[in-house]
Structure formats: structure tokens, C-alpha cells
Amino acid sequence: MAFRIGIFIITLVLIIKIRMCVSQINRQSFPKDFVFGTASSAFQYEGAVKEDGRGPSVWDTFSHSNGGKILRNSNADVAVDQYHRFEGDVHIMKDMGMDAYRFSISWTRIFPNGFGVVNQAGVDHYNKLIDALLAKGIEPYVTLYHWDLPQALEDKYKGWLSPLIIKDFATYAEICFQKFGDRVKHWITFNEPHTFCMMGYDVGLQPPGRCSILLHKLCSSGNSSTEPYIVAHNVLISHAVVADIYRKKYKKIQGGSVGISLDVIWFESATNSKEDIEATQRALDFTLGWFLDPLIFGDYPKSMKSRVGSRLPKFSKSQTSLVKGSLDFVGINHYTTFYAMHNGSDLLQVALHDYISDSAALTLPFNGTEIIGERANSLWLYIVPQGMRSTMNYIKQKYGNPLLIITENGMDDPNDPSISINDALKDDKRIRYHNDYLNNLLASIKEDGCNVKGYFVWSLLDNWEWQAGYTSRFGLYFIDYNDNLKRYPKKSVEWFKNFLN
């Protein structure tokens, strides 16, 4: 018995030492040119939706007429008021030791109707934000489109469903290059096109709220079998046109780069069966591959072409030439990992005939016997740190090790009014999350040779989280929604200060 207890104690000590060793990473553990920052979006942060000439976006419309699609029927009219408080927010980024800030420009602040005369007040605002960042030594990373389509373009020609949007998006992007490109060197054309194609045009849970299956009573119109693919096609061409404009007219003078941010849930096969392994690959093809295959190889994944058939748009030769290779880096938004298994119900695909059923892959956080990891607050967010390393290696192996930037990574706590602010600031789970995901990211770089150059935390502040409204807290800083949106540093702020400094 004594021998067994001794062995147990020795083993426990070793585990603790290993754990301490694993945790002792910091900025110096990463390559010298590696960038650390936080990420945000205009609609979730700015507020001031009717100030200084800003026009309405589809999210303004959706959040005010959502029919219960947003928890507690909230909206982002004020959000966290960064439009007025950006100087203070820049200060706390600097205090933490962050190198960069990823934010998005609101299209309707530049063109209130999506096109026409430039709104100078909008340009002035972003000039002030960019200058404030640079004055503190913080590099701006700018997203051109983070889901807030001008409502006027949705009304005029149904937005992303029409190829007319390609020209309007290119005009908007070029104005941004002209007005801000002397200081902005990192451009992201789109944030998570997979998400807004699926959520807006297949299941109707995001604007413009179009669908024809399952949730059809929530949607006044739509065709879930075709529209997600049409929208994605127009997005890819829009990205490529904008990248081409930048390369031909601005890159030599401004010296910047253009990329795109893609959301990636990592998928593990639910079993070792051939069917589930193949389904896992299809799940990746229908999410990451839907966009990255055309951008790297010039066409959609074979599994998509086979299963979607004539409903999947085709690239012309000139479009293929334009789209292929039209990025300088790939932004990856990675939060979680799911199991994938074969969905053998042909009846389901025939009945639904939509993007989700087309993949014949069922993706869930459990495989029938176990949960894949500890859950955060969001129903979709399970903590599986090794998924980060797997994702990086998959992209390296399949796509030729392109330059990657983790443009979003983080986890949320609930916005629980019964929890005191002091207790809400003790976010040890978030600290463990970032520590463990960063350890796996570092291993992918140092041990596996993955070409990753940056990591952006979602998010600096608690904010308005789309359908979750204010019920979800992703921030390093706690926002007191009951007291003038005061910012309080959570325990994770101190952890990042130590990590970065």
C-alpha cells in the first residue's frame, strides 16, 4: 500500500510539474515577428447607429424586427459605445501590451446607402481611430465587411444574391484604401462568409433572414437549396476583385496585404468507420473548403461539386484566374471542435435539399457516448484546445502552408445578473482556455512548422453577440450594462499583461 501511495504521489508531482511547464509560455515563446491583438466588429461595438450620417444596415433592421430571434429582444443601438469611447479602449489595449487591434469599418458610415457620395463624417471617425491606435504603437487590422450590409442595397437588388453587389463592394473597398491605406497595412475583405451565407440564406437566423426549410415560418422568402451557394459565389468574386484592385493600384505605394477571415470548427470523426471518416472530410469541405479551395486551387471541393451538382455556381475561366491566389494571408477564426458522423438519411437530403443536408455529415459536440469537451456559455462552444493544432496542421498539409493569422479565438461566460461583478471578474476558465489554445498554437508553429504569424483574442470587451444579444460575455473586460457601460478588467487582463510583458 505504501509503495502504491508513493507511486501516486510521484506521479501527481510529475503531472503538476508538467502542467506548470506547459503553462509557462509567454510572448517570448513565439517568433519575434508574431503579433498579439484583440478583435471586434463595428456593429457589435460602436453603437451611435444614427449619428454622423450613418445609414441603416441589415442588422439594424433585423435586430429591431427579429420576432424573437435575438435573446431578450435586444439591439446594438448603443452596443458598448466604442464610437465615443475609443480613446479609452485604445489606452487599455496599450496597457495590456497588445500589438494590434482588429476592427471593422461600417460600410454605411462611408456610404450610408451603400453607394454614391462619401460620408466625410464617417471617414473622419475612422481616421481618428486609426491615428489613436498608431499613436500608441498599436497596428490596425481592418475588416471591410463584418456582416453589416447597407439595408439600401438589400432593398435595391437583394444584396449578396445579386452580382451587382460586386461593383458596389469594390467601390466601397477602394475608397477605404484611398482614405486609410497610407496607415492601414492589413486588410481583411470578409469576416466568416460561411456563417452569414448559412445563417442568412439557409436557416434564416441572421439577416436578411431568408430560408425555405424547417424554419420557413420565420422566413418570408428564400430558397435554401440555392441561395447560400449564390451568395458565397458573389462573395468570393467580390473578394478577388478587391484584392486585384489593391494589388494593381495600391500595394506598391502602400505596401499592405489583403486576406480574408474564415471560421473553422475542427471536426473529429465520431468513430473509426470509413463512413464517418469520409463524412468528417465532407464537413471540412463544406465549411472551410467552400471558400479556401477556390482561393487556393481555383475551384470548389470535389465533394461539393458532386453532391450539390448544378445548384453550385461555376467559375468562368476568367473568374478562376481572378479568384485563385487572391490573398496574401488567411485569417482563421477558431473556437471549438465537434464530432462528425455520416448522415445516412437520403430522405433528409431529398426533403430538405439545403446546404446543411447536402454535406450528409452530422456534426455534434457528442458522439453518443461522450461530450467532446467542457462547454463554455454558448451552446456551440466546447473547449477542445488540441483542435487548434489540428486545424493549423490540416491547413498546412492541404493548402501548402499559407500564411495564417488567428483572427479570432476566445470563450464566453453567461451574463448572469445573480453573479456579482467581483465574481464575474474571476474568469479562470478563460485564462485556462487561452493558455491551452496558445500552447497548442505554439506547438503547431515550433514543432510542426505551421506558418502562423498572429493571434487575436475575441474580444477586448463584452459586447452585443448577434443572436445572443447581451446574454454572452466574451470580453477580457467586463462591461457593466447597468452603470454607464463601465469597463472593469477581468482576471484574464492581468494574465495577458504578464504573458505579453
- Position 320 scores a pLDDT of 98
Of 102, 133, 101, 99, nearest to 30 by C-alpha is 99
Three cell numbers written together for 186: 492589413
Q: Is 423 helix (H, G, I), strand (E, B) or coil?
A: helix
pLDDT in tens, 113-140: 999 999 999 999 999 999 999 999 999 9
Quote the DSSP letter at residue 57: B
Three cell numbers written together for 325: 491566389
Q: Which residues are catalytic?
A: 192, 408
Q: Which domains does the chain have, with CATH numbers?
A: 30-500 (3.20.20.80)
CA separation for the pair 281, 219 (Å, rounded):
31
Asked if 427 and 459 touch (Cβ cutoff 8 Å), the reply is no
Asked if 44 and 76 touch (Cβ cutoff 8 Å), the reply is yes
Q: For residue 16, is pLDDT > 80?
A: no
Of 403, 451, 443, 453, nearest to 35 by C-alpha is 453
Q: For residue 65, is pLDDT > 70?
A: yes
Three cell numbers written together for 69: 430571434
Three cell numbers written together for 315: 467559375
Asked if 48 and 60 touch (Cβ cutoff 8 Å), the reply is no
| CB contact set of 40 (below 8 Å; sequence gap of 6+) | 82, 101, 102, 103, 104, 459, 460, 461, 463
CA separation for the pair 472, 162 (Å, rounded):
34
Mean pLDDT, rounded, for 314-342: 98
What pLDDT band is residue 350 in, cutting at 50, 70 and 90? low
CA separation for the pair 501, 495 (Å, rounded):
10
Q: For residue 18, is pLDDT > 60?
A: no
Asked if 410 and 433 touch (Cβ cutoff 8 Å), the reply is yes
Q: How many other C-beta atoms can be found within 10 angstroms of the C-beta atom of residue 272?
A: 7
pLDDT in tens, 83-94: 999 999 999 999
Q: What is the maximal distance between C-alpha atoms in the chain?
A: 83
What pLDDT band is residue 344 in, cutting at 50, 70 and 90? confident
Q: How many other C-beta atoms can be found within 10 angstroms of the C-beta atom of residue 319?
A: 18
pLDDT > 70: what percent of the chain? 93
| CB contact set of 134 (below 8 Å; sequence gap of 6+) | 140, 183
CA separation for the pair 437, 421 (Å, rounded):
26
- Position 215 scores a pLDDT of 58
Backbone angles phi, psi at 84, to 5 degrees: -100, -15
Whether the bond between 301 and the residue before it is cis, its omega within 30 degrees of 0, is: no
Quickly count helices (H) and strands (E) in the chain: 21, 17
Q: For residue 169, is pLDDT > 80?
A: yes
Mean pLDDT, rounded, for 374-391: 98
409 membership: H or E segment, kind and range: strand 404-409
User: For the chain, what's the residue count?
Assistant: 501
Q: For residue 485, is pLDDT > 70?
A: yes
Distance between start and end Cα atoms, the chain: 47
Asked if 208 and 152 touch (Cβ cutoff 8 Å), the reply is no
Asked if 106 and 175 touch (Cβ cutoff 8 Å), the reply is no
Confidence (pTM) = 0.94
Of 89, 131, 83, nearest to 104 by C-alpha is 83
Mean of pLDDT over the chain: 94
- Position 262 scores a pLDDT of 99
Q: How many other C-beta atoms can be found within 10 angstroms of the C-beta atom of residue 116?
A: 11
CA separation for the pair 92, 460 (Å, rounded):
9
pLDDT in tens, 325-335: 999 999 999 99
| Per-residue CA distances from 450 to 266, 359, 421, 458, 461 (Å) | 16, 28, 40, 22, 29
What pLDDT band is residue 148 in, cutting at 50, 70 and 90? very high
